[in-house]
Homo-oligomer: A and B are copies of this chain.
């Protein structure tokens, strides 16, 4: 098994057994919903680079399910009254992001319960689990993901989705702090730009966990556990 350490592909050294054990792993997909991925001017928080990974994530999830690795979809849902964000303490990104990228016309609708902006655009299958309480950038606070992972007896999280340099990186920090073993599939995450993606993955590889290609991980898992075929 090889991984990317500060941008360089190298063999994963010994000591990472818990990172590569499918029986304690969960695939965690972050915010692959219409509010980021819709290709229209109304999209309230556009992450256009992530549109190209919808189908690759679907394919990865199919293999996960086949190998018995549970799939968890985390998505932003804000109460319809707006109290969780624009009507409470507005998220920092609402003020900072437009300074660099310009105004985001429909941002106020981002994640609002009851709108189409909370629809997952990746496949959800029976047996998958949903965490739909993401309110800010973290997938852990103030959600019940930690509670769920404990109840599932999962020790390792495999992160996919978006933004590499925002919610994915945040998830890697949060999971590592809670002593989950972290992998990020570099082919299944997208961020603000290729530069920022590369920087975020370097940060992950230095301090937080393994940056891998999903095909390599699937191969490692399959080598360890007979498939159900």
Q: Which of A92, A135, A192 has the largest count of B CB atoms less than 10 A from its CB?
A: A92
Q: Which residues of B contact A99 (CB under 8 A)?
A: 5, 10, 13, 205
| A binding-site residues for B, Cβ under 8 Å | 5-6, 10, 13, 15-16, 79, 81, 83-85, 87-89, 91-93, 95-97, 99-100, 127, 129-130, 133, 135-138, 141-144, 146-148, 150-153, 163, 165-166, 169-170, 173-174, 176-179, 181-182, 192, 195-196, 199-200, 202-203, 205-210
Contact B178 A210 (CB under 8 A): no
Contact B97–A173 (Cβ < 8 Å): no
B141, B144, B182, B210: the one contacting A133 at CB < 8 Å is: B144
> Complex: how many Å from CA A10 to CA B166?
22
Q: Are A92 and B203 in contact (CB under 8 A)?
A: no
| Distance in angstroms between the alpha carbons of A199 and B88 in the assembled complex | 30
A100:B6 contact, CB within 8 angstroms = yes
The reply to whether B147 and A84 contact each other, CB–CB distance below 8 Å, is yes
Query: Could you say which residues of chain B place their CB within 8 Å of the CB of A209?
Result: 92, 96
Known A144-B135, A173-B137; judge A95-B15 contact (CB<8 A).
Answer: yes
Complexed CA–CA distance, A115 and B136 (Å) = 29
User: Contacts of A10 on B, CB cut-off 8 Å?
Assistant: 99
The verdict on A170 contacting B165 (CB below 8 Å), with A83-B129, A147-B142, A152-B88 known, is no
Of the A-B pairs whose beta carbons lie under 8 Å apart in the complex, a sample of 25, sorted by A's number, is A84-B147, A88-B150, A88-B153, A91-B176, A92-B176, A92-B207, A92-B208, A92-B209, A93-B207, A93-B208, A96-B207, A136-B177, A137-B173, A137-B208, A142-B144, A142-B146, A150-B179, A166-B206, A169-B169, A169-B173, A169-B203, A173-B174, A196-B202, A199-B200, A200-B203
